[in-house]
Amino acid sequence: MKTLKQRLGWYLVLFFMISSCSTYIQFTTQKSAEPRYSGIRNVGVNTVLLMDRRSVELQDNQGAWTAASQPINDRKLETLVRKSLVSNLRKFSDYQVFDLHDIRKFQTAFQRLRPLSGERIEELDLIIDVQIAYDTIKQIGQSQEVMTFHQKKSVKQGQKWVTTQDSSQQRVVSVPYNHANADLICYVEVIKTKNGDSKVLKSFNTMLSYQSDPMNSPESMINELGVVITSRILKNVSKYSVLTKRKIDKRSENEILELMEKADLESASKRLESSLSKSEDRKPADLYNLGICYEAMGDPGIALQMYREAHKQDEEEELYMTAIGEIE
Which stretches in the chain have pLDDT values below 50?
1-2, 4-22, 113-121
Q: How many residues does the chain have?
A: 328
**Residue 22 placed within a domain:** no
Domain of 285: which CATH number? Answer: 1.25.40
Q: How many domains does the chain have?
A: 2
User: Is residue 303 classed exposed, middle or buried when 0-12, 13-18 and 19+ CB atoms within 10 A define those classes?
Assistant: buried
Domain of 79: which CATH number? Answer: 3.40.50
Q: What is the pLDDT of residue 17?
A: 43
pTM of the model: 0.52
Q: What distances in angstroms separate CA 179 from CA 72, 211, 216, one per listed residue?
A: 19, 8, 11
Q: How many Cβ atoms sit within 10 Å of the Cβ of residue 242?
A: 10
Q: What residues make up the domain containing 231?
A: 35-109+122-140+177-240
Between CA 175 and CA 328 the distance in angstroms is: 56
Q: What is the pLDDT of residue 163?
A: 83
Q: Do 226 and 319 belong together in one domain?
A: no
Q: What is the pLDDT of residue 135?
A: 84
**Model confidence over 95-124: pLDDT tens digits?**
888 898 888 776 665 555 444 444 444 578
Please say whether the beta carbons of 140 and 174 come within 8 A. Answer: no
**Residue 28 placed within a domain:** no
